[in-house]
Amino acid sequence: MTIKSSQTLVAEALKVVKTISPEEALKLTGENKCNLIDIRDAVELQREGRIENSFHISRGLLEFSIHPKSAYSQKEKLDLNKEMVLFCAAGGRSALAAKTLNEMGFEKVSHVEGGFGAMKNSGFKIS
Protein backbone atom coordinates (compact mmCIF):
# COMPACT_ATOMS: atom_id res chain seq x y z
CA MET A 1 0.00 0.00 0.00
CA THR A 2 1.32 3.42 -0.98
CA ILE A 3 0.03 6.40 0.92
CA LYS A 4 0.54 9.78 -0.73
CA SER A 5 1.82 12.64 1.37
CA SER A 6 0.02 15.98 1.55
CA GLN A 7 2.95 17.48 -0.39
CA THR A 8 2.39 14.96 -3.20
CA LEU A 9 -1.33 15.73 -3.30
CA VAL A 10 -0.65 19.47 -3.48
CA ALA A 11 1.95 18.96 -6.23
CA GLU A 12 -0.56 16.89 -8.22
CA ALA A 13 -3.26 19.54 -7.72
CA LEU A 14 -0.94 22.31 -8.88
CA LYS A 15 -0.49 20.49 -12.21
CA VAL A 16 -4.22 20.70 -12.99
CA VAL A 17 -5.59 23.82 -11.28
CA LYS A 18 -5.29 27.43 -12.35
CA THR A 19 -2.92 29.38 -10.12
CA ILE A 20 -3.10 33.17 -10.08
CA SER A 21 -0.93 35.78 -8.41
CA PRO A 22 -2.23 37.96 -5.56
CA GLU A 23 -2.10 40.90 -8.00
CA GLU A 24 -4.33 39.05 -10.49
CA ALA A 25 -6.76 38.21 -7.66
CA LEU A 26 -6.82 41.87 -6.58
CA LYS A 27 -7.61 42.92 -10.15
CA LEU A 28 -10.44 40.35 -10.50
CA THR A 29 -11.85 41.44 -7.14
CA GLY A 30 -11.67 45.12 -8.04
CA GLU A 31 -13.48 44.45 -11.32
CA ASN A 32 -16.15 42.37 -9.49
CA LYS A 33 -15.35 39.36 -11.67
CA CYS A 34 -14.90 36.72 -8.98
CA ASN A 35 -16.00 35.26 -5.69
CA LEU A 36 -12.99 35.60 -3.40
CA ILE A 37 -13.28 32.68 -0.99
CA ASP A 38 -11.18 32.36 2.16
CA ILE A 39 -10.99 28.69 3.16
CA ARG A 40 -8.90 29.19 6.31
CA ASP A 41 -10.28 28.08 9.67
CA ALA A 42 -12.15 30.56 11.88
CA VAL A 43 -9.22 30.58 14.35
CA GLU A 44 -6.88 31.77 11.58
CA LEU A 45 -9.27 34.59 10.65
CA GLN A 46 -9.46 35.74 14.26
CA ARG A 47 -5.68 35.63 14.62
CA GLU A 48 -4.61 37.07 11.25
CA GLY A 49 -7.59 39.12 10.08
CA ARG A 50 -9.79 38.92 7.00
CA ILE A 51 -9.39 40.09 3.43
CA GLU A 52 -11.96 42.78 2.73
CA ASN A 53 -14.82 41.63 0.47
CA SER A 54 -13.94 37.94 0.77
CA PHE A 55 -16.37 35.18 1.70
CA HIS A 56 -15.37 32.77 4.42
CA ILE A 57 -16.12 29.10 3.84
CA SER A 58 -13.83 26.85 5.87
CA ARG A 59 -12.12 24.06 3.92
CA GLY A 60 -14.03 21.41 5.83
CA LEU A 61 -17.40 22.73 4.63
CA LEU A 62 -16.48 23.95 1.14
CA GLU A 63 -18.08 21.19 -0.94
CA PHE A 64 -21.27 21.38 1.13
CA SER A 65 -21.47 25.17 1.15
CA ILE A 66 -20.79 25.72 -2.54
CA HIS A 67 -23.07 23.13 -4.14
CA PRO A 68 -26.22 25.01 -5.20
CA LYS A 69 -28.60 22.23 -4.10
CA SER A 70 -26.98 21.56 -0.73
CA ALA A 71 -28.87 22.38 2.45
CA TYR A 72 -25.76 24.34 3.50
CA SER A 73 -25.46 26.25 0.22
CA GLN A 74 -24.36 29.86 0.37
CA LYS A 75 -25.66 30.52 -3.15
CA GLU A 76 -27.31 33.77 -2.05
CA LYS A 77 -23.83 35.11 -1.24
CA LEU A 78 -21.96 33.66 -4.22
CA ASP A 79 -22.40 34.30 -7.93
CA LEU A 80 -21.87 30.86 -9.47
CA ASN A 81 -21.30 32.44 -12.89
CA LYS A 82 -18.17 34.24 -11.68
CA GLU A 83 -14.75 32.71 -11.15
CA MET A 84 -14.23 31.04 -7.78
CA VAL A 85 -10.91 32.36 -6.45
CA LEU A 86 -9.81 30.39 -3.39
CA PHE A 87 -7.11 31.20 -0.89
CA CYS A 88 -5.79 29.79 2.38
CA ALA A 89 -2.79 30.74 4.51
CA ALA A 90 -0.02 29.77 2.06
CA GLY A 91 -1.63 28.07 -0.96
CA GLY A 92 -1.62 24.33 -0.23
CA ARG A 93 -5.18 23.86 0.98
CA SER A 94 -6.55 26.20 -1.67
CA ALA A 95 -4.83 24.18 -4.44
CA LEU A 96 -6.45 21.00 -3.11
CA ALA A 97 -9.81 22.77 -2.76
CA ALA A 98 -9.63 24.19 -6.30
CA LYS A 99 -8.99 20.68 -7.64
CA THR A 100 -12.04 19.44 -5.76
CA LEU A 101 -14.24 22.21 -7.18
CA ASN A 102 -13.01 21.29 -10.68
CA GLU A 103 -13.97 17.68 -9.95
CA MET A 104 -17.43 18.89 -8.82
CA GLY A 105 -17.91 20.51 -12.24
CA PHE A 106 -16.97 24.13 -11.58
CA GLU A 107 -15.04 25.33 -14.61
CA LYS A 108 -13.96 28.82 -13.54
CA VAL A 109 -11.83 28.07 -10.48
CA SER A 110 -8.42 29.29 -9.42
CA HIS A 111 -6.36 29.62 -6.29
CA VAL A 112 -4.05 32.38 -5.13
CA GLU A 113 -0.35 31.56 -5.07
CA GLY A 114 1.11 32.28 -1.64
CA GLY A 115 -2.32 32.64 -0.05
CA PHE A 116 -3.16 35.16 2.65
CA GLY A 117 0.50 35.68 3.46
CA ALA A 118 1.20 36.99 -0.05
CA MET A 119 -2.13 38.78 -0.41
CA LYS A 120 -1.68 41.01 2.62
CA ASN A 121 1.50 42.38 0.99
CA SER A 122 -0.18 42.94 -2.40
CA GLY A 123 -2.70 45.69 -1.76
CA PHE A 124 -5.59 43.75 -0.23
CA LYS A 125 -7.26 45.51 2.70
CA ILE A 126 -7.27 43.49 5.92
CA SER A 127 -10.02 43.93 8.51
Express as a percent the part of the chain with pLDDT over 90. Answer: 87
Answer yes or no: is 76 within a domain. yes
Answer yes or no: is 1 within a domain. no
- Please give the residue range of the domain that contains residue 115: 6-119
Answer yes or no: is 125 within a domain. no
Based on the structure, what is the number of domains in the chain?
1
- pLDDT tens digits, 36-83: 999 999 999 999 999 999 999 999 999 999 988 888 887 778 898 999
Tell me the whole-structure pTM to 2 decimals: 0.94
The CATH number assigned to the domain holding 33 equals: 3.40.250.10
Work out the number of other CB atoms within 10 angstroms of the CB of residue 118: 18
